[in-house]
Amino acid sequence: MLDSSSNYSPTIVYRPIRPSDLDVLEQIHIALFPIRYEREFFLDVVHGRGIISWGAVDINRPDGRDDELIGFVTTRINAGKDSEIEDLFRYNASRNDLCLLYILTLGVVEDYRCLGIASSLVQEVIKYASSIASCRGVYLHVISYNQPAINFYKKMLFRLVRRLSHFYYIRGRHYDSYLFVYYVNGGRSPCSPLEIVTAFLVYFRGFLRMLISKLQRTESNKNLPRWYRCKEANSLMVNQNKRIISADDTTCQHV
């Protein structure tokens, strides 16, 4: 964390990742992630070869490194029909142009955490996905023991949709993964059987209430004496021809 007792205040700016970020980007990945990425991955990121990325820099750094990455997010567009989660989206399968945006990596250096940088980077991703008419969602995997990341994506309104057994293999050990999805452009998940049953029960309960209320009103009217119903009808006819003068308006109106 930055020293809160000093007068220094960071000024965070977001920009595309550039070739000049190559070494710093690789160093941050090594420091943050248990998975080792090939050099080719970082070259693809900085040159934009199939990867869309955003970086965060502090242009008010007192050490003068005002263009050095302090945070990043890397993403890739996947075709919807080739995606591992195609069944989670409600769209016309006959459309071959529909796609999804996959978050590859997201990270912020330790000194700049708890400043909302990760949230802003994810918002950039969501905004970009939403701007693509054929995109239906943003998705990612989180290793099962990373509780801070799980809490973060829930806070960002991502939906935890699956647990994948033995998804990661790190240092000779398997780990499960949680799959998170954020739907955009109407790409909602199809209703599960439980959701369908729940919706039917809610509708049926409302219908019963309406029917019972109608029956109760009918029974109440039947129990009224005939002379009272006639009196009520005559009163209504009189009121329809009556003029009322408002206390604060001298104009007359028919009721």
Asked if residue 167 lies in contact with residue 35, where contact means CB atoms within 8 angstroms, the answer is: no
CA distances from 157 to 119, 151, 166 (A): 11, 10, 25
pLDDT tens for residues 203-226? 567 667 777 877 777 766 666 565
pLDDT tens for residues 107-136? 999 999 999 999 999 999 999 999 999 999
Mean pLDDT computed over 16-22: 97
Number of helices (H) and strands (E) in the chain: give both, helices first: 6, 9
Of the candidate ranges 85-89, 111-115, 241-245, the one whose mean pLDDT is the lowest: 241-245
Please give the full DSSP string across 152-189, using - where no structure is assigned: HHHHTT-EEEEEEEEEEEETTEEEEEEEEEEE-TT-PP
In whole angstroms, what separates CA 115 from the centre of its chain?
Answer: 20
| Percent of the chain with pLDDT strictly greater than 70 | 71
What per-residue confidence (pLDDT) applies to 123?
A: 98
pLDDT tens for residues 145-180? 999 999 999 999 999 999 999 999 998 999 999 999
What per-residue confidence (pLDDT) applies to 43?
A: 98
What per-residue confidence (pLDDT) applies to 236?
A: 43
Give the separation between CA 113 and CA 251, rounded to whole angstroms: 68
CA distances from 131 to 2, 33, 134, 212 (A): 34, 30, 9, 49
Give the separation between CA 233 and CA 244, rounded to whole angstroms: 20
Give the separation between CA 18 and CA 45, rounded to whole angstroms: 8
| Tokens coding 148 | 């801070």
What per-residue confidence (pLDDT) applies to 250?
A: 38
pLDDT at 195 over 90: no
In the predicted model, what is the mean pLDDT of the chain? Answer: 81
Straight-line distance from the first to the last Cα atom of the chain, in angstroms, rounded to the nearest whole number:
71
Give the separation between CA 128 and CA 121, rounded to whole angstroms: 11
| Tokens coding 253 | 């109106």
Close Cβ partners of 185 (under 8 Å, ≥ 6 residues apart): 129, 130, 132, 133, 134, 135, 136
Mean pLDDT computed over 59-79: 95
